[in-house]
Amino acid sequence: MNIIIEIKNKRTKLILKKDQKTLDEVVFASDENISEKLLPNFDVLLKKNKLTIGDIDNVEVETDLGDTFTSRRIAEAMKNAFDWTKKNKSQKV
C-alpha cells in the first residue's frame, strides 16, 4: 500500500492506494499551518483503515507548488523520514 501526499489548489489530500486503486483519502485545507495538520491526518488515515506504518510500502509527494514553498518542504521531509525509517527499521540503534 502507498500513501500519496497531494498538495494542489490550496488543499492537501492524503490518498491511500493499493495497486493503483484508491482505498481512502483525507482532505484538509493547505494553509499556513500544514505542519500542524499533516502528521495527525496521516495518523487518522492509518487508524481509520486499521493500518500501521509497517503496512505502508511507500509515501509519495505530488504538488503544484515550487521547490521553495514551505508546505512542499514539510511534505518532502515527512516522506524522507518515512523512507529513512523503513530503510533502518531492522537495524539496531
Domain ranges of the chain: 2-88
- pTM of the shown model: 0.86
What are the helix and strand counts (H, E) for the chain? 2, 4
Residues 40 and 28 sit within 8 Å (Cβ to Cβ) = no
**How crowded is residue 74: how many other Cβ atoms within 10 Å of its Cβ?**
20
Domain 2-88 has CATH 3.30.420.40: yes
Q: What is the DSSP string of 1-32?
A: -EEEEEEETTEEEEEEEETTEEEEEEEEE-ST
Least Cα distance to 59 among 50, 67, 51, 48 occurs for 51
Q: Which of 9-13, 27-31, 41-45, 53-57 bottoms out in mean pLDDT, i.e. has the lowest? A: 27-31
The answer, yes or no, to whether residue 61 has pLDDT greater than 90, is yes
Least Cα distance to 15 among 32, 89, 48 occurs for 48
C-alpha cell recorded at residue 34 = 500544514
pLDDT value of residue 80: 95
